[in-house]
Structure 1
Amino acid sequence: MTNASQATEAPNEFQSQPDDVLTTSPDEREKLIISMRRIDGFPKIISIYEDDVWWLTGSPASTSKSVCKIDFSAVPSPLRDATKAIIYRYLRRGVRNARRPQAATASATFTDISYFLNFVHSLGISKLRDISPMTCSAYVQFARTKLCSLGGRTRAIDPSNRTVATTTLYKRFAAVEKVFELSHYTQDAMSQHPWIDSSADVLAGGGNNSGAGLTPLIPDDVFTKIFQHAFEIVQDGPRLLDLRDNLERFDLKTEVTSSYVTTLKTKYLREAGFLGYREFKKQLRLIRTACYIVAASLSGCRFHELANAKKGCYYSTEADGERYWWLRTKSSKTYEGKTEWMVPYAVVQAISLLERWSEPYQDQLNQEIQRHKDEDPTDIRRAEAMDHVGSIFVGLDMRNGNLVRTIIVASMNQDLKEFTESCGLAWPLATHQFRRKFANYVARSQFGDLRYLREHFKHWSLDMTLRYALNESQEMTLYLEIQD
């Protein structure tokens, strides 16, 4: 378990563990629990200290499993013991002036640390205590020239994309600072700060402070075309799902051959205006993308916040004779947990449509869970599958045996790219752009066809202290994005 909410649910054995391995015996150290989760209310250990690969738990269901893994084989063997001690301390306590990291953050930090440690090992250094400021200075120069990968490949920094490279460099250099701080909780501490009178920010050429301008603002004409097409699909969605349900009834015909059933389906779809099943299936898939576009455009939610949405996640209230709709989900970005957003009814239309769209996937998921339960009730795969029960932004994970899982951000970004191309547009649309576009419309107060956003904010100030009335800490970050 890697964050505070998980730690509070962990058994005493986990909570009482030391926060570093400085004073533990080798036998005690190797058995320290790294991660665990509950199955039917009972804790099950996932990874322990001696494992070569640590699987971290506690991430949103939309997080790819590959970014919740720490594989110590990526670090040269002479530096591996110290690295394990560093990462253990990082998982338990984080670093100064920062929260304990979540799984994906810890995994990304490990990757950045491994870049540095592979570099110093290439210089013949096998102890952290032998790393000097001169060594770190050499790494800075190397990283500025090339961005390394664990596979040994390199790629030059693209001068036309200096902002992205700067942010990447900041993460690389911040990882070196973490090694220095955390190594003092190991038997092999770095003796000197990596750089005197400087910082990761400065060395990266602006670093973390330049990140605010990274998200491009979707042009109005591009956004209008994308949103209108998405909303048309949402409005037509019930008809498409009726067709899908009717097609399933053909499969119940037991008195005819399968080839004849296929003929009946094809005829039915052509009468409905489709060339065949392939075109119809493509239209069904577009429903998920369209629902995401509508919900993201009109809520200001981040990708993982929408991906966390479960069946029945909306409700309404009445005040002054008017009805207000609320979207309820979870956010890990600000460590707020369960969070609510006031949304226009169009978001409810999209979410309710997606609830119906996802029903066959949920049926398949329930079958998987039952299968694991029948074979072994304590199988961790059952618990992993249960994380996705009720999720509406789901799909088939083709790299994992076509299991039903909550979609990850990379999959949605690919769907958005294809959706944009289908609109005849070349804009590189991505999930994180909708939040800034939403903020931009709020700041301008010129909504055109999105006039209902005035209702969304009609009781709130739009001056320099703009924030959501019922979600202040969560949405202060949105206000800061409005300033871009």
Structure 2
Amino acid sequence: MKPSPRPLAAAPSWEDARVSPWSRFGDEEWLLDIRTPGRRADQNRVNWFRPLPNGAEISVRDHAHLLRAARHFLWSMYLNPPPGRKRSSLSSLQSKATILRTIVGWMAREGLRRFAEIDAGAVERLCVWLRQRSARAGSPGRMRTATITGYLLAIKDLYRQRAKLDDAPMSDPLPLETTYEAAGHSRATKGTIPFIPDAIAVAILSAALCWVEEYGETILSAEAIRQAAWLRGRATGARRNASYVARKALREAGLHGPSGGALDGAYAVRHATTHLAEACFIVIAGFVGMRVSEILSMRVGAIELRPIGESGVDQAYVVARLFKTVDDPEGREERWVAPALVVRAVALLERLSAGLRVASGRDELFLVRNTQRCAIVPVTYMHMSWRINDFARAVGVPDHEGKPWLFSTHQFRKTFARFVARRDRSQLLGLAEHFKHASVAMTARGYVGSDFDLNQLVDHEARAETAEALDRLLSARQLGGRMGERITARNARFRGRAGEQVRRDYIAFILEETDLRIHACDYGWCVFQQETARCGGEIEPDEAARAPAVCLKCANMVIERKHVPYWRDRRARNAALLPVANPMTAAVLNEAIGQCDAVLAQIGDDDGQA
């Protein structure tokens, strides 16, 4: 285990204070003690030795002073941040150091020798320069406004910390606007990570489930046959003979993978085991919603069974480590409720990684052999994202709007929250507890925490669904349900191209100024208002009390054309029972059929011809 850094306060000066067990703040290279899984090695170091950039208008001595002042500023943010701010973590120090090195390079070309020379005019010139930069090296896209905000925040923090520093802006560089306003950062420009579209999410999750549940054992059997046969052949002393024996054994076994291809050679088996590991990651991310750092932190024995009260039934949990908002560089051990398919995926991962764990002496479940150094190392975020996209190509995930969907690891977490938010908002408290393991029993054991990130994701998806539903309802000419009749009687000004901007402005007002949320179900929408809710819900529809017959009499109900299949199917099922029903049952069936006919007439159904 790596040693913990000694307290900064024990150091005689800021330059001698340790930023890690191996580096001081005054050093020209920092080796940081960041243990969050998934980070590349270069993300755990900062090189402050930077040559004077081309076209610089300051001296080498001034450039060295700026780099030293930047280190001094980061020391102050780590030890004594501005009032109301948390101490910067080591990962924050690394990201802020990258920003400061870029600012220092710009200052050198601008002829600014000290941070004290930065004023409002300099900040304006910096913004112009940043907007002209690429998002990243070799990328054609421009820098995002969120990234520009980070640069401006660093300068603003330099000003806030001026009393603790030898060199800092002495006048407010942003006196009349916030960093967000100066960067042009708004809802329209922030560019959040997207959720996976429904059709794409269903395709990749279904494929991953198929690999895990139906072909996991087959692939592991093929790998066991290959290894055993290869060792038998290798015992003869000829490497070529070992490969021949392995191929022969695999062909005799006659195993096939999910695509139907024969697992008859080392190449086919290795690719199958690689994709199986990717499928396991997708299943865990998609059905538990853990962050990528949490999934990559899983180790042998990651599944733990705990009794549910005195029921005699055990609940499975995934044991991993939480790093976000946690001060301990090792993270904090937490537990996530795990459905059976996730337990299966973790069991497969343990068997898949056994050989690499033995060879490396490590106990992580996600390991890979580095082809350049032949070392066995943990999988990084970047590598995992690339592998998910490779899996999607291999299993034939369909294109989205004419081109392949670009997956990232965090999209699965957002999509998980979105599915829960859309289907049953009565489960949101349970969802928050699930992400942080806050069952009553675990609360008593001190495992509770507030996952604000999750709550923001869920609220964002709930608002997005409300906005999408409002846009369709306000522009519709035919709607069913009592609320639907009221909407179509008054929404003429919102319809068509002429009403598009009016509609957008009205929806923005609704989302900003009210707490209105539209709740989905299979047969319609509930524009929830407590005082008229026939289901008796207090803050949202009561899932136990809502039903088609109840909702049709409710003033909150809206039905649109997308719900036609449900009502058509409900009518057909009731009509099929009618010929053999007794008089009392027939009366109930006829009432249900009449409800379906009325709804289908309201929303303009023409028996599937539209």
Smaller-chain TM-score range? 0.7 to 0.9
Structure 1 residues 334-353: aligned runs within 5 Å:
334-335=325-326, 337-353=332-348
RMSD over aligned CA atoms reads: 3.0
Q: How far apart in 1 are the matches of 2:431 and 2:324?
A: 24
The residue matched to 1:281 in structure 2 has which SS? helix
Q: Is the 8 A contact 2:316 2:338 kept in 1?
A: yes
Q: How far apart in 1 are the matches of 2:349 and 2:299?
A: 10
Residue in structure 2 matched with residue 177 of structure 1 by the alignment: 156
Shift of 1:92: 3.0
TM-score (norm 2): 0.63
Residue in structure 2 matched with residue 240 of structure 1 by the alignment: 219
The CA deviation string for residues 37-58 of structure 1, in whole angstroms up to 9 with x for no partner, is: xxxxxxxxx1124431111113
The residue matched to 1:203 in structure 2 has which SS? helix
Which one of the candidate residues 297, 316, 322 is aligned to 1:325? 316
Residue in structure 2 matched with residue 440 of structure 1 by the alignment: 418
Change in 2 beyond 3 A, CA 1:195/1:317: same
Q: How far apart in 2 are the matches of 1:432 and 1:61?
A: 14
Gaps of 5+ in 2: 52-62, 256-261, 399-403, 440-446, 461-610
TM-score (norm 1): 0.78
Shift of 1:129: 1.7
Shift of 1:256: 5.8
Residue in structure 2 matched with residue 17 of structure 1 by the alignment: 11
Change in 2 beyond 3 A, CA 1:462/1:111: closer
Q: How far apart in 2 are the matches of 1:397 and 1:93?
A: 40
Residue in structure 2 matched with residue 391 of structure 1 by the alignment: 364
Residue in structure 1 matched with residue 590 of structure 2 by the alignment: none
- Greater mean alpha carbon deviation, residues 280-289 or residues 264-273: 264-273
The residue matched to 2:334 in structure 1 has which SS? strand
Q: Is the 8 A contact 2:229 2:249 kept in 1?
A: no
Letter in 2 for 1:33: R
Structure 1 residues 306-325: aligned runs within 5 Å:
306-319=295-308, 320-325=311-316
Residue in structure 2 matched with residue 41 of structure 1 by the alignment: none
Shift of 1:268: 2.0
Which one of the candidate residues 147, 158, 163 is aligned to 1:168? 147
The CA deviation string for residues 45-92 of structure 1, in whole angstroms up to 9 with x for no partner, is: x11244311111133132112112111124743412212211222333
Residue in structure 1 matched with residue 276 of structure 2 by the alignment: 287
Residue 79, structure 1, aligned to residue 66, structure 2 = yes
Residue 199, structure 1, aligned to residue 178, structure 2 = yes
Change in 2 beyond 3 A, CA 1:223/1:267: same
Q: How far apart in 2 are the matches of 1:405 and 1:32?
A: 31
Change in 2 beyond 3 A, CA 1:460/1:183: closer
Q: How far apart in 2 are the matches of 1:73 and 1:391?
A: 34
Q: Is the 8 A contact 1:467 1:476 kept in 2?
A: no
More strand by share: 1
Q: How far apart in 2 are the matches of 1:288 and 1:462?
A: 26
Letter in 2 for 1:137: E
Which one of the candidate residues 111, 114, 121 is aligned to 1:124? 111
Q: How far apart in 2 are the matches of 1:106 and 1:432?
A: 22
Change in 2 beyond 3 A, CA 1:96/1:73: farther
The CA deviation string for residues 83-138 of structure 1, in whole angstroms up to 9 with x for no partner, is: 22112223334444332233332111111122222112211111122222211121
Q: How far apart in 1 are the matches of 2:94 and 2:216?
A: 39
Letter in 2 for 1:16: A
Residue in structure 2 matched with residue 39 of structure 1 by the alignment: none
- Greater mean alpha carbon deviation, residues 357-366 or residues 263-272: 263-272
Q: Is the 8 A contact 2:6 2:18 kept in 1?
A: no
Q: How far apart in 1 are the matches of 2:366 and 2:152?
A: 36
Change in 2 beyond 3 A, CA 1:180/1:59: farther
Q: How far apart in 1 are the matches of 2:386 and 2:430?
A: 37
Residue in structure 1 matched with residue 408 of structure 2 by the alignment: 430
Change in 2 beyond 3 A, CA 1:69/1:237: same
Q: How far apart in 2 are the matches of 1:230 and 1:294?
A: 6
Residue 144, structure 1, aligned to residue 131, structure 2 = yes
Q: How far apart in 2 are the matches of 1:419 and 1:278?
A: 16
Letter in 1 for 2:152: F
Q: How far apart in 1 are the matches of 2:226 and 2:139?
A: 50
Equivalent residue pairs, number? 416
Identity among equivalent pairs (%): 19
Residue in structure 2 matched with residue 375 of structure 1 by the alignment: none
Change in 2 beyond 3 A, CA 1:287/1:186: same
The residue matched to 2:157 in structure 1 has which SS? helix
Residue 362, structure 1, aligned to residue 357, structure 2 = yes
Q: How far apart in 1 are the matches of 2:382 and 2:300?
A: 23
Q: Is the 8 A contact 2:421 2:428 kept in 1?
A: no
Which one of the candidate residues 63, 66, 78 is aligned to 2:39? 63
Q: How far apart in 1 are the matches of 2:79 and 2:289?
A: 32
The CA deviation string for residues 306-344 of structure 1, in whole angstroms up to 9 with x for no partner, is: 111111122122333543211111111132722111121
Letter in 1 for 2:11: Q
Change in 2 beyond 3 A, CA 1:250/1:183: farther
Shift of 1:462: 7.8
Residue in structure 1 matched with residue 89 of structure 2 by the alignment: 102
Q: Is the 8 A contact 1:94 1:100 kept in 2?
A: yes
The residue matched to 1:79 in structure 2 has which SS? helix
Change in 2 beyond 3 A, CA 1:407/1:32: same
Q: Is the 8 A contact 2:436 2:450 kept in 1?
A: no
Residue in structure 1 matched with residue 78 of structure 2 by the alignment: 91
Q: How far apart in 1 are the matches of 2:115 and 2:184?
A: 26
Residue in structure 2 matched with residue 47 of structure 1 by the alignment: 23
Letter in 2 for 1:145: Q
Residue in structure 2 matched with residue 475 of structure 1 by the alignment: 451
Residue in structure 2 matched with residue 32 of structure 1 by the alignment: 17
Where relative contact order (Cα < 8 A, 6+ residues apart) is larger, the structure is: 1
Shift of 1:287: 1.5
The residue matched to 2:449 in structure 1 has which SS? helix
Shift of 1:247: 2.1
Change in 2 beyond 3 A, CA 1:157/1:289: closer
Shift of 1:290: 0.5
Residue in structure 2 matched with residue 416 of structure 1 by the alignment: 388
Residue 276, structure 1, aligned to residue 249, structure 2 = no
Q: How far apart in 2 are the matches of 1:219 and 1:459?
A: 21
Which one of the candidate residues 368, 372, 376 is aligned to 1:404? 376
Q: How far apart in 1 are the matches of 2:145 and 2:125?
A: 17
Which one of the candidate residues 200, 224, 228 is aligned to 2:206? 228
Change in 2 beyond 3 A, CA 1:462/1:99: closer
The residue matched to 1:328 in structure 2 has which SS? strand
Q: Is the 8 A contact 1:169 1:207 kept in 2?
A: no
Q: How far apart in 1 are the matches of 2:393 and 2:456?
A: 31
Q: How far apart in 2 are the matches of 1:460 and 1:195?
A: 40
Q: How far apart in 2 are the matches of 1:147 and 1:394?
A: 33
Q: Is the 8 A contact 1:443 1:462 kept in 2?
A: no
